[in-house]
């Protein structure tokens, strides 16, 4: 926790400097208005008492005057309630907006060193969960002050009216607070565990989505389904435990008002009989009891909210107080214009908490010189590039550009002078034109096109349906890696810096395109100082000089030819694998595991699966703002671990219970799904639940009727016997209500959770059946939403909303009937409020729907923009786009805030209006009832019961309105889930699938044609091909030629539009797909690791493999030594897709995973594009070993990867244009020979 929150200052005091004076004034004004509003509200029962005692029973004062006073107070209360909601809630929304902008601004300007303290997921959590907590806290400040005022005022008035009768409240309120506090103490940790298990379910879904290619390639959908079922079962049990706790406590809390009414009737009735109090005083007490239920409950919950808000403030301050390590001096001058001379004098550098990365670097790069930097992974190449653009400052020494120390110059001017192109071609989710013009938004279309031509991107851009206006997906993933890199190069060319730093910026580009880019970039690089980070020899053709880094030191420098001659390290780095190494056998097969690599004292569980998609669920829950703002389950989902919370979790009862759902029926395909299928299996439990709800509603209606009987036949007639018979009956009724509510709450939640379990299983099973095309056409976050937010929207509706709505509707209807039975004339008089009530509710519902949908869409866009800003912050800083990003984000934040304010304005008008209608109804009942009482047509008991029923009538209407957001969310979710579950798979299972035995690996493509649905471009055009078993085939061609598509068709990620793919002579469509894929080995270009351990990742395709088999696979591909060197060996936890491991290590684990399944067909998708050549040599040898003896398809951009294959297929525009061995194709002088010539320097080096 930040030191700033260790003192005793209040949460608002800590927030004050961040909120600004204007927001603080609004918040304080909202508090004052809330106090005044609740004081006014507290006066209403007192006025009712005066009317009953002095105007109706005794006729001492003017009825008209007091009715007018009552209505005037109602108007004043409406105005104050409106203002306190409008002012206070708007202040909370604007405070959240300002804090969102502060977080965004901070992350845009923090340097790389300071940002390294925070993971992207942590920042998003602080910008979403923590800010939501703070916004809830700010909203509740006014309510806190107002409810304290109402409680205090009511108790003072009651003490004034009758100190003796006030003893009932003096006993009841503390007891209620104690039970409520116990309720919160038990339900909060239960809700927290629910959130943890919900996160685990989301983690399984997220990894199954982001790792879908690996899941499908190894046919592990069933394994993922089992994992999901297990986690969903645990979540079911956790929520069932929470339901048991909630049922007991909520039934007890709901019994308090009724029990207090019994006490007031028992004691107050005696006091009325003895003349100590009047009937009006009794009515006032009964009204105060109903008034005080909400504030007392609120006060019991505010402690939890404030504690969590304070923790959120601590995390927020920790983020906002972070300081950049790169400090710009005040009034630092801009870097003066110059020719691009770079001088580095004795520079050292180490990352925070790490060992030294660069040591005593001294270097001079002349203006216009092209310098290449080579070195093994971890040698400091990229770090040196970042120092040149002042992303970091050296720990010692100097870096100068044109004679000026970078520490003395403004950071913005340095980055205008130094253009940096990163290895990952990060693109923003906007148009291609905007991505190219990112550094120069004012550039004309001609300039953008010239930059694209220089980067050899114009051709493929022009071929896209939208051309330069094509919108790329998140991070540009709708384009290939090579296409993204070319756009990034065009972006740098357009920015026109005097120094250009290229960090292996063509690693994902094929040799021919790279060669063309090198030639076209001659003009771009002319008279420009250029620094090239090189991992392959072909890049060096641009360099005048090369320096060799090793262990953070410059160990040699010279021309490529000079270094090739004298430097063994240079030759190793720039030399690909020797073809003789392919197929080399391991030294010998081990017969026992290496004990060092399998420590006995380490858990085998590994890292848990946790979702990083935090924003969308909050987007839904935050959009409308009409629901309860102190809900334990919501707070539990926003909570942060603490020792106290973990101790409370440990004290919870153990998990138990089974969903009792037919898993086979839920996972079976259903192409005609309707939402009725979710409810149909649970028809009987649902009917029983409705019956329990009806009993609850009818029982609640009996209370005022019994009170009326007690007043008329006991109190008025001085019959103690009748009074206590009624009191006893009320106690029995409360016991019935308590038992029914407890069982109803548990049973309805148990039924709801069973339905939700089935829905989760059904939805995930359908996602597993969908083809890869669905995942490539939809963003991962959107797919996650279906399985998380949409299902949770149903959860909230089924667990709370439906029961609340049903009880509220039955209560309203029942009260209307009872009022009509009690006194039809009085009921008719009161019915004047029905028309405005219906109209107001209808208008509120219609406008709230629109407001909710707008706010939901805007907050989704806001959070997506923040996520993208965080992911692309390094690119933004490299091009000085922080201020532009801030303006865009501020506009989005203001747009969302405006939508929230519209929602709050609707609530500010509607809910006080409902309260005002309640006052009108009471005034009407009192006015009409007075004449009826005087004429003897109305008893005192009926009048008291009538007024109590009116209080009960309006409470359900408020509850119905508060669950309106839940209904909206569930309605939207139902449509989206229905659309998903009716989406057919593009690779459906055969009606009678053939389960293959051990495959030989013969592959045939007969007249295959295929076009991607998203673009309509034909990428396989009438291709016929035969690959015999055991043959190693390399696919070669330019980016977008169709290589990956051919591999996807063999894996049946897609089915061809025309033609047939056959495996061992059987059409692939007829094979049982999981059984077929169990015999595939797949190694993607960007290796994907699942959360767990290194062992579980290697064994992913064969979960039942023994430790010895896992180790043998790792040894075979050369991964054992690095695994053995890790503290936990094979049990090392893996999380965040293995980012703690190097690219080469992740690749080796992917190879071991492929080897362990003993595949008949091996698919290798350019697995070494991002590795330096020394590491690539080791990986290539491993690939050669894995490929030995089995049919293998290799996608190769680097031609030495393809050279040792048995056969090379050159793919161009979806057609196989050449077919032969390396030597045959080079001799033929065709496409392949041209590609080989483009990489001739690398060939010569090897």
Q: Give percent of the chain above pLDDT 70.
A: 88
Q: Report the pLDDT value the prediction gives residue 508, as an integer from 0 to 100.
A: 63
Q: Report the pLDDT value the prediction gives residue 666, as an integer from 0 to 100.
A: 87
Q: Report the pLDDT value the prediction gives residue 225, as an integer from 0 to 100.
A: 94
Average pLDDT over residues 502-511: 72
Q: Report the pLDDT value the prediction gives residue 1014, as an integer from 0 to 100.
A: 66
Residues pairing with 1134 in the sheet: 1092
Q: Report the pLDDT value the prediction gives residue 1, as an integer from 0 to 100.
A: 39
Residues pairing with 1195 in the sheet: 1035, 1165
How far is 348 from 394, CA to CA, in rounded Å?
6
Query: Residues 985-1033: pLDDT tens digits?
Result: 989 998 899 999 999 999 999 999 998 876 677 888 899 999 999 999 9
- Check residues 298 and 712 and name the one with the higher pLDDT: 712
**Cβ 852 vs Cβ 968: under 8 Å:** yes
CATH topology of domain 10-322+615-980: ABC transporter transmembrane region fold (1.20.1560)
Question: DSSP states of 682-730 as a string?
Answer: GHHHHHHHHHHHHHHHHHHHHHHHHHHHHIIIIITTT-HHHHHHHHHHH
Q: Report the pLDDT value the prediction gives residue 1042, as an integer from 0 to 100.
A: 83
Average pLDDT over residues 239-243: 88
CATH code assigned to 342-429+438-443+494-581: 3.40.50.300
CATH topology of domain 1088-1158: Rossmann fold (3.40.50)
Which position has the token pair 């309203």? 812
3-state secondary structure 12-65: HHHHHHHHCHHHHHHHHHHHHHHHHHHHHHHHHHHHHHHHHHHHHHCCCCCHHH
How far is 549 from 375, CA to CA, in rounded Å?
5
pTM: 0.79
**Cβ 286 vs Cβ 948: under 8 Å:** yes
For residue 409, pLDDT over 90 is answered with yes
Average pLDDT over residues 861-890: 88
- Check residues 89 and 121 and name the one with the higher pLDDT: 89
For residue 358, pLDDT over 80 is answered with yes
Q: Which of 150, 53, 199, 22 is nearest to 792 (CA)?
A: 199
Q: Report the pLDDT value the prediction gives residue 1094, as an integer from 0 to 100.
A: 94
Average pLDDT over residues 166-171: 86
- Tell me what the pLDDT averaged over the chain comes to: 83
Query: Residues 1116-1131: pLDDT tens digits?
Result: 888 898 898 888 999 9
Q: Report the pLDDT value the prediction gives residue 1063, as an integer from 0 to 100.
A: 95
pLDDT band at residue 1170 under the 50/70/90 scheme: low
**Cβ 496 vs Cβ 308: under 8 Å:** no
Q: The tokens of 389 are what?
A: 């653009």
Average pLDDT over residues 282-288: 82
For residue 45, pLDDT over 90 is answered with no
Within 8 A by CB and 6+ apart from 222, the residues are 1074
Q: Report the pLDDT value the prediction gives residue 472, as an integer from 0 to 100.
A: 85
For residue 1245, pLDDT over 50 is answered with no
Question: DSSP states of 166-205 as a string?
Answer: HHHHHHHHHHHHHHHHHHHHHHHHHHHHHHHHHHHHHHHH
**Cβ 1115 vs Cβ 1059: under 8 Å:** no
- Check residues 747 and 133 and name the one with the higher pLDDT: 747
Q: The tokens of 811 are what?
A: 């209560």
Q: Domain coordinates of the chain in residue numbers? A: 10-322+615-980, 342-429+438-443+494-581, 430-437+444-493, 1088-1158
pLDDT band at residue 304 under the 50/70/90 scheme: low
For residue 585, pLDDT over 60 is answered with no
Q: Report the pLDDT value the prediction gives residue 2, as an integer from 0 to 100.
A: 41
Question: DSSP states of 57-115 as a string?
Answer: IS--S-HHHHHHHHHHHHHHHHHHHHHHHHHHHHHHHHHHHHHHHHHHHHHHHS-HHHH
Query: Residues 108-135: pLDDT tens digits?
Result: 998 888 887 776 666 776 777 778 778 8
Neighbours of 1127 (CB within 10 A): 8
For residue 200, pLDDT over 90 is answered with no
Among 405-409, 809-813, 1073-1077, where is mean pLDDT lowest?
809-813
**Cβ 509 vs Cβ 489: under 8 Å:** no
Query: Residues 696-730: pLDDT tens digits?
Result: 878 887 888 888 888 888 888 888 899 889 999 98
Within 8 A by CB and 6+ apart from 196, the residues are none
Average pLDDT over residues 195-204: 81
10-322+615-980 and 1088-1158 agree in CATH topology: no
Average pLDDT over residues 617-643: 49
Q: Which of 253, 307, 368 is nearest to 137 (CA)?
A: 307
Query: Residues 927-948: pLDDT tens digits?
Result: 898 888 888 888 888 888 888 8
């Amino acid at each position: 926790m930040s030191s700033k929150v260790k003192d005793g200052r209040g949460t608002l005091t800590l927030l004050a400097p961040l909120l600004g004076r204007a927001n603080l004034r609004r918040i304080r004004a909202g508090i004052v208005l809330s106090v005044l509003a609740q004081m006014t509200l507290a006066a209403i029962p007192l006025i009712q008492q005066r009317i009953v005692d002095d105007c109706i029973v005794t006729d001492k004062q003017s009825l008209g005057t007091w009715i007018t006073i009552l209505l005037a107070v109602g108007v004043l209360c409406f105005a104050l309630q409106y203002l306190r909601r409008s002012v206070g809630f708007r202040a909370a929304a604007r405070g959240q907006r300002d804090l969102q902008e502060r977080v965004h601004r901070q992350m845009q300007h923090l340097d790389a060193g300071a940002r390294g303290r925070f993971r992207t997921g942590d920042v998003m959590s602080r910008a979403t969960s923590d800010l939501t907590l703070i916004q809830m806290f700010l909203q509740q400040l006014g309510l806190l002050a107002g409810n304290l005022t109402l409680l205090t005022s009511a108790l003072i008035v009651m003490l004034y009216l009758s100190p003796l009768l006030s003893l009932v409240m003096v006993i009841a309120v503390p007891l209620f607070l104690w039970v409520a506090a116990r309720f919160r103490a038990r339900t909060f940790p239960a809700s927290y565990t629910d959130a943890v298990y919900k996160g685990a379910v989301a983690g399984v879904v997220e990894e199954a989505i982001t790792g879908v290619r690996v899941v499908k390639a190894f046919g592990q959908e069933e394994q993922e389904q089992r994992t999901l079922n297990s986690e969903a079962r645990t979540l079911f049990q956790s929520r069932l435990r929470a339901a048991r706790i909630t049922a007991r406590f909520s039934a007890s809390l709901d019994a308090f008002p009724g029990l207090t009414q019994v006490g007031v009737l028992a004691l107050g009735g005696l006091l009325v009989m003895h003349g100590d109090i009047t009937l009006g005083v009794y009515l006032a007490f009964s009204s105060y009891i109903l008034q005080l239920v909400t504030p007392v409950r609120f006060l019991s919950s505010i402690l939890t909210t404030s504690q969590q808000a304070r923790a959120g403030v601590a995390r927020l301050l920790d983020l906002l107080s972070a300081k950049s390590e790169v400090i710009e001096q005040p009034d630092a001058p801009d870097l003066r214009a110059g020719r691009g001379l770079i001088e580095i004098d004795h520079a050292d550098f180490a990352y925070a908490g790490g060992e030294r990365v660069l040591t005593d670097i001294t270097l001079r790069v002349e203006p216009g010189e092209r310098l290449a930097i080579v070195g093994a992974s971890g040698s400091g190449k990229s770090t040196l590039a970042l120092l040149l653009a002042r992303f970091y400052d050296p720990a010692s020494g100097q870096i100068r550009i044109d004679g000026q120390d970078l520490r003395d110059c403004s950071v913005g001017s340095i980055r205008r002078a130094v253009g940096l192109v990163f290895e990952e071609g990060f693109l923003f989710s906007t148009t291609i034109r905007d991505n190219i013009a990112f550094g120069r938004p004012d550039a004309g279309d001609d300039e953008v096109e010239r930059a694209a031509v220089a980067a050899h991107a114009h051709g493929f851009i022009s071929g896209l349906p939208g051309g330069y206006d094509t919108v790329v997906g998140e991070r540009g993933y709708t384009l290939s890696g090579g296409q993204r890199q070319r756009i990034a190069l065009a972006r740098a060319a357009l920015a026109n810096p005097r120094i250009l730093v290229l960090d292996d910026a063509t690693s994902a580009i094929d040799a021919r395109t790279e060669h063309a880019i090198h030639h076209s970039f001659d003009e771009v690089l002319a008279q420009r100082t250029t620094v090239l980070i090189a991992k392959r020899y072909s890049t060096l053709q641009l360099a005048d000089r090369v320096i060799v880094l090793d262990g953070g030191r410059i160990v040699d420098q010279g021309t490529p030819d000079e270094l090739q001659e004298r430097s063994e390290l240079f030759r190793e780095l720039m030399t690909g694998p020797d073809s003789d190494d392919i197929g080399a056998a391991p030294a010998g097969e081990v017969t026992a595991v290496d004990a060092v690599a399998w420590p006995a004292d380490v858990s085998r569980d590994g890292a848990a699966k946790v979702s990083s998609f935090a924003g969308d669920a909050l987007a839904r829950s935050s959009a409308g703002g009409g629901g309860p703002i102190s809900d334990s389950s919501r707070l539990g989902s926003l909570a942060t671990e603490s020792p106290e919370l973990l101790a409370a979790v440990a004290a919870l009862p153990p998990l138990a219970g089974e969903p009792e759902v037919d898993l086979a029926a839920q996972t079976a395909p259903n192409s005609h799904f309707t939402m009725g299928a979710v409810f149909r299996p649970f028809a009987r439990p649902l009917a029983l639940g409705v019956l329990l709800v009806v009993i609850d509603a009818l029982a609640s209606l009996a209370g005022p009727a019994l009170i009326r009987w007690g007043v008329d036949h006991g109190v008025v007639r001085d019959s103690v016997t009748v009074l206590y018979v009624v009191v006893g009956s009320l106690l029995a009724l409360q016991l019935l209500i308590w038992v029914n509510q407890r069982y109803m709450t548990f049973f309805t939640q148990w039924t709801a959770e069973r339905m939700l379990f089935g829905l989760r299983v059904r939805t995930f099973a359908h996602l597993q059946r969908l083809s890869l095309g669905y995942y490539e056409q939809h963003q991962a976050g959107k797919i996650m939403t279906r399985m998380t937010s949409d299902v949770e929207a149903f959860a909230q509706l089924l667990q709370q909303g439906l029961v609340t709505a049903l009880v509220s509707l039955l209560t309203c209807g029942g009260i209307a009937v009872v009022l009509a039975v009690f006194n039809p004339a009085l009921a008719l008089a009161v019915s004047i409020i029905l028309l405005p009530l219906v109209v107001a509710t209808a208008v509120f519902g219609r406008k709230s729907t629109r407001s909710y949908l707008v706010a939901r869409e805007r907050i989704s866009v806001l959070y997506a923009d923040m996520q993208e800003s965080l992911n692309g912050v390094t690119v933004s800083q490299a091009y000085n786009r922080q201020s532009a990003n801030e303006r865009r984000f501020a506009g989005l934040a203001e747009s969302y805030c405006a939508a929230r304010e519209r929602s709050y304005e609707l609530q500010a008008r509607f809910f006080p209006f409902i309260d005002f209608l309640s006052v009108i109804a009471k005034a009407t009942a009192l006015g009409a009832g007075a004449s009826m009482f005087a004429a003897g047509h109305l008893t005192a008991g009926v009048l008291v019961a009538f007024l109590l029923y009116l209080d009960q009538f309006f409470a359900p209407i408020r509850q119905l309105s508060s669950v309106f957001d839940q209904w909206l969310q569930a309605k939207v979710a139902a449509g989206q889930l229905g659309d998903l579950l009716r989406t057919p798979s593009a690779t459906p299972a055969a009606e009678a699938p053939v389960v293959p035995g051990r495959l030989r690996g013969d592959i045939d493509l007969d007249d295959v044609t295929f076009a991607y649905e998203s673009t309509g471009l034909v990428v396989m055009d009438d291709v016929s091909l035969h690959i015999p078993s055991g043959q190693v085939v390399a696919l070669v061609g330019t980016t977008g030629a169709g290589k990956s598509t051919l591999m996807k068709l063999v894996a049946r990620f897609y089915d061809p539009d025309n033609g047939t793919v056959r495996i061992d002579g059987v059409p692939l469509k007829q094979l049982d797909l999981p059984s077929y894929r169990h015999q595939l080995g797949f190694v993607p270009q960007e290796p994907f690791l699942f959360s767990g351990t290194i062992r579980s990742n290697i064994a992913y395709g064969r979960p039942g493999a023994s430790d010895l088999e896992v180790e043998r696979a790792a040894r075979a591909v050369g991964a054992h030594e690095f695994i053995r060197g890790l503290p936990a060996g094979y049990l090392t936890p893996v999380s965040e897709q293995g980012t703690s491991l190097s690219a080469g290590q992740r690749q080796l684990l992917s190879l071991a995973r492929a080897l362990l399944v003993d595949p008949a067909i091996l698919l290798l998708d350019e697995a070494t594009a991002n590795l330096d050549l020394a590491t690539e040599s080791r990986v290539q040898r491993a690939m050669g070993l894995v490929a030995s003896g089995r049919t293998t398809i290799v996608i190769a951009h680097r031609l030495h990867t393809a050279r040792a294959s048995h056969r090379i297929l050159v793919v161009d525009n979806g057609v196989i244009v050449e077919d032969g061995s390396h030597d045959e194709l080079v001799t033929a002088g065709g496409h392949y020979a041209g590609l080989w010539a483009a990489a001739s320097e690398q060939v010569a080096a090897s």
